[in-house]
Amino acid sequence: MSNKHHTLLIVGGGAAGVSVANTMRRQDANIDIAIVEPSEKHYYQPGFTIIGGGAYTMKQTMRNEADLISDSIVWIKEYVQTFQPEQNTVTLRSGETVSYDYLVVCPGLQLDWDKIKGLKETLGKNNVCSNYSPETVEYTWECIKSIESGNALFTQPPMPIKCAGAPQKIMYLAADRFRKKGILDKFTIEFCNAGPGLFGIPFFAKALSKVVADYGIKTCFGHNLVAIDGETKTATFETTDADGKKQQVNKPFDMIHVTPPQSAPDFIKQSPLANAAGWVEVHDKTLQHVKYPNIFGLGDATSTPNAKTAAAVRKQVPVVNKCL
């Protein structure tokens, strides 16, 4: 195993990691920077909703990772396996160890498809779709485009998730499509949210309630999708009443858009960088790790209280760069 050292090592080459790396490079032409990122492709994930709604193509949301990283930055096309912050090292899946002076951790979120029984077996067929993966998003438009009537369900799991508005956005795009085709009255559209309301910010929730009413959408709060049977087109939800009592209810569907449960990546949860909930534990104002002063975190995998969006990353990048 060969050992490598970099002044600044960044784990994750998404919007956060690439932005930190390129901004640091513009500030200092000589600093030794490396990014650990296994994927050859970079996706503009906010565009996935627009693909599902039929107004974007996959190509419009996809770039080559190499085109986004400065040529003077070392790109390590690997996965991180473990962190050893006391030794200022990370270990890759290959077994190679990389050391650093400063570490920035921004690997994004993990999609927990397996937490919904039967989902992986039926996703991408039987009118079971999801905008949350580049492998499945194009099927959403196929479903919306071809369905003519019936029960259309749209789900949202417990928070936190990427972009809290995304599960609703595709529902409104679908309803608008049905209306323009003159078939909206042939549908029962339901928004099944594990949470207690339309949106966590009352100002926006009030505005969205008018949109829901305009399309005749039924809201089902306290409904968490736990299982799905694509063959029989049945979705099973765990419901929680006002007294906290749980029970399971089945809903038939002709189409269902599933937002999967999400969490910090497993290699983060199992690391010494994580808090009890599994997130990289950083100070809210500086994004510096609470225990290791030469480690910073930003983006979806951190403990910060803001929504997990690219908009948050845009505000976090200057903070991390200034602190570094």
Shared domain for 284 and 185, answered yes or no, is no
Is residue 2 over pLDDT 60? no
Shared domain for 96 and 22, answered yes or no, is yes
Domain stop point among 213, 237, 261: 261
Residue burial 89-109, b: 16+ Cβ < 10 Å; e: rest? bbebeeeebbebebbbbbbbb
pLDDT recorded at residue 3: 60
The span from the CA of 267 to the CA of 260, in Å, is: 19
Shared domain for 86 and 120, answered yes or no, is no
Look at the alpha carbons of 26, 27, 30, 36 in this order and tell me if their dihedral is positive or negative.
negative
Contact between 190 and 215 (Cβ < 8 Å)? no
Look at the alpha carbons of 129, 109, 278, 197 in this order and tell me if their dihedral is positive or negative.
negative
Shared domain for 226 and 207, answered yes or no, is yes
pLDDT tens for each residue of 200-217: 888 988 999 999 999 999
The span from the CA of 298 to the CA of 269, in Å, is: 15
pLDDT recorded at residue 1: 41
**Whole domain around residue 206: which residue ranges?**
112-261
Q: CA-CA distances (angstroms) from residue 246 to 193, 222, 237, 313?
A: 15, 10, 10, 36
pLDDT tens for each residue of 138-149: 999 999 999 999
Shared domain for 27 and 89, answered yes or no, is yes
β-sheet bridge partners, residue 229 = 234
Shared domain for 23 and 90, answered yes or no, is yes
* Nearest to 51, CA basis, from 164, 136, 147: 136
Shared domain for 269 and 231, answered yes or no, is no
| Residues belonging to the chain | 324
Shared domain for 151 and 231, answered yes or no, is yes
* Nearest to 109, CA basis, from 14, 209, 206, 237: 14
Q: What is the CATH number of the domain that holds 172?
A: 3.50.50.60
Average pLDDT of the chain is 95
Shared domain for 271 and 319, answered yes or no, is yes
Shared domain for 209 and 246, answered yes or no, is yes
Residue partners of 79: CB distance under 8 A and separation at least 6: 36, 38, 92, 93, 267
Q: What is the pTM of this model?
A: 0.93
Domain stop point among 261, 284, 299: 261
- Residue 50 tokens, joined: 């627009």
User: Helix 137-146 to helix 166-180 angle, to the nearest 10 degrees?
Assistant: 30
Domain stop point among 220, 239, 261: 261
Domain count, the chain: 2
Shared domain for 240 and 140, answered yes or no, is yes
